[in-house]
Structures are given as structure tokens and as C-alpha cells.
């Protein structure tokens, strides 16, 4: 289903820009075809999917630095449709993010890519800068100690003024327990790309529509797939407006066309 059948504008809270020619044009064309007005964008392709899946399952990490400058340039040329998130490499330190923090609108931390736990001092250094800048922090939890939903809750308790985004509603696609774990922390919200429809419904029930965000994980997932998932849930128009538009505007502290 396209956005034409849905009663409000849509903001995609989680898309990626691959480091290849034409990636920005492909993203904007796909968004337009799906009726998506804006997207929060972070660097993609930091490691290959074979490496990423192995690290998620078996452990390990990369020290690669994401192509943040390319994301920033693409967003600047997008006419306001793309909003840049800084993809942290905690192994390299926080200096580059701190120096450019005003150019970005959010931060992403990925234990699956870089391997660091939420209680690692290098992780907390990044979150401290994000907190001072008013940036939301997007994370995807794993099943390993230090990166589980309970560890995210502990990190969120350290930074109660910062909004943390529970990416994909967990890494398994069916992390009902993770949603229940974050429910008590009001500064943690859930982003739903890649998870099952039953998980979205549970997040809406357990957290409320104001704490759920629409996302796609483009280009790994086409927006039409995520829109169809929501269409199957038959949400009220008010709930869909919260999830698809108003929550993103509130969390990012910006207005979008």
C-alpha cells in the first residue's frame, strides 16, 4: 500500500544512505513514490551484510568510520527532505561529532557494527554530546550483555532529558520482552522497521502511540513493505498521525514540509 491511502504526511525515522553514486537520488525517488515527505538518514554500508550478520550472531566488531560527511552533504542538498544523523564510531573518539554537532539532528550508536556496550565510557561520551545538543539517540539492542534492552534502560536513566530510540523494536523481530522492558522509561521510544506486525501492535498498546515511530530501514527494506504492515493494523487516523508524523516532529524539534 502507498501513502495515498493513508490520511497524513509521513516521516521515515530510519533510512540509510549507501556510499555509492546515485544513492541520494534513489532514496528521494523511492520516498516520493511511497508518499514519504521526509526521512532521518544515517550512513549505510559501514560493513557488509555478511559481516554484520556474523557480528550480531557470533560477536566481533569493526573500527570503520561511517561516511557521515556524505550524509551531511546529501541532506543539505535535499531541500529539507532529508535530516542527517551522525553515525558514531566510538573507537575513534567523539571529537569529530562534537566539532560538527550543530550540523546534525541526531546520533546513531550501533553495537552490532562497532561492538561497544552501552556502559562503555566511549559510548557515554557520545551520548553526553548528543544530550547537550538535544539530539535523539538511535540504537539497536542485541542479545549480549551490555547491549540488551535492560542496558539501554540503564543508559536512558543516566540521561533522562535525552530521547533514545529503540531501533527495529529490538534485533530479533519479535522482542516483546524488550518493549516491556523499555516501557517504564518515558524517554525511550520504539522505531518499528523490520519487526513483525504483532510487535508493532504490542508497542502501540504497551507504550502508547506517542512513543512509536514509523521507519523503513531503506534500502534494506522498501517503504511499501513497512506501509503495508501498518495498513494491516487498521489504526485510527489519530494514532497513525502520531506514529507517522507528529512524533518525529516533536522528537527532532523541527517542522517539515
Q: How does pLDDT run across 88-121, given as a tens digit for each residue?
A: 999 999 999 999 999 999 999 999 999 999 999 9
CA distances from residue 76 to 41, 42, 81, 83, 107 in whole angstroms, order as listed: 12, 13, 9, 8, 17
pLDDT beyond 60 at 5: no
Are 35 and 61 within 8 A, CB to CB?
Answer: no
Mind listing the pLDDT tens digit for each residue in 7-18? 689 999 999 999
| CATH class of this structure's domain 11-252 | alpha beta
Q: List pLDDT tens digits, range 37-92.
A: 999 999 999 999 999 999 999 999 999 999 999 999 999 999 999 999 999 999 99
pLDDT at 255 exceeding the cut of 80 = no
Annotate 26-66 with DSSP letters as a single string. HHHHHHHHHT--EEEEEE--SS-HHHHHHHHHH-----PPP
Quickly state the pLDDT bin for 4 (edges 50, 70, 90): very low
**In the predicted model, is pLDDT for residue 6 greater than 90?**
no
| 163-175 per-position pLDDT tens digit | 999 999 999 999 9
Give the pLDDT score at 7.
Answer: 67
188 pLDDT more than 50: yes
Rounded CA-CA distance 242/81 in Å is 19
How far apart are alpha carbons 85 and 229 in whole angstroms? 25
Q: What pTM value is reported for the model?
A: 0.95
Between the two ends of the chain, the Cα-to-Cα distance in Å is 22
- Mean pLDDT across the chain, nearest whole number? 95
pLDDT tens-digit readout, 126-156 = 999 999 999 999 999 999 999 999 999 999 9
Residue 179: predicted pLDDT: 98
Q: Is the dihedral of CA 236, 238, 242, 246 positive or negative?
A: positive
pLDDT of the residue at 86:
98
Dist. CA 140–CA 110, nearest whole Å = 6
Amino acid at each position: 500500500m502507498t501513502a495515498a491511502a493513508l490520511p497524513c504526511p509521513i516521516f521515515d525515522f530510519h533510512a540509510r544512505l549507501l556510499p555509492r553514486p546515485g544513492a541520494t537520488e534513489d532514496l528521494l525517488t523511492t520516498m516520493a513514490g511511497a508518499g514519504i515527505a521526509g526521512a532521518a538518514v544515517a550512513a549505510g554500508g559501514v560493513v557488509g551484510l555478511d559481516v554484520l550478520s556474523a557480528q550480531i550472531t557470533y560477536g566481533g566488531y569493526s573500527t570503520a568510520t561511517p561516511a557521515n560527511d556524505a550524509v551531511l552533504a546529501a541532506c543539505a542538498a535535499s531541500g529539507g527532505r532529508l535530516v542527517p544523523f551522525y553515525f558514531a564510531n566510538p573507537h575513534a573518539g567523539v571529537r569529530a561529532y562534537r566539532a560538527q554537532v550543530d550540523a546534525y539532528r541526531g546520533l546513531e550508536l550501533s553495537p552490532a557494527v562497532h561492538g561497544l556496550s552501552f556502559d562503555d565510557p566511549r559510548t557515554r561520551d557520545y551520548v553526553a554530546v548528543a544530550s547537550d545538543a538535544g539530539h535523539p539517540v538511535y540504537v539497536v539492542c542485541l542479545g549480549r550483555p551490555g547491549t540488551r534492552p535492560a542496558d539501554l534502560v540503564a543508559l536512558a536513566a543516566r540521561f533522562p532529558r535525552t530521547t533514545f530510540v529503540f531501533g527495529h523494536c529490538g534485533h530479533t523481530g519479535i522482542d516483546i520482552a524488550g518493549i516491556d522492558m523499555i516501557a517504564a522509561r518515558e524517554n525511550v521510544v520504539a522505531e518499528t522497521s523490520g519487526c513483525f506486525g504483532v510487535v508493532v501492535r504490542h508497542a502501540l498498546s504497551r507504550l502508547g502511540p506517542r512513543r512509536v515511530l514509523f521507519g523503513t530501514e531503506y534500502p534494506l527494506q522498501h517503504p511499501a513493505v513497512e506501509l503495508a504492515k501498518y495498513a494491516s493494523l487498521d489504526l485510527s487516523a489519530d494514532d497513525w498521525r502520531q506514529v507517522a508524523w507528529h512524533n518525529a516532529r516533536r522528537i527532532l524539534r523541527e517542522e517539515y514540509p
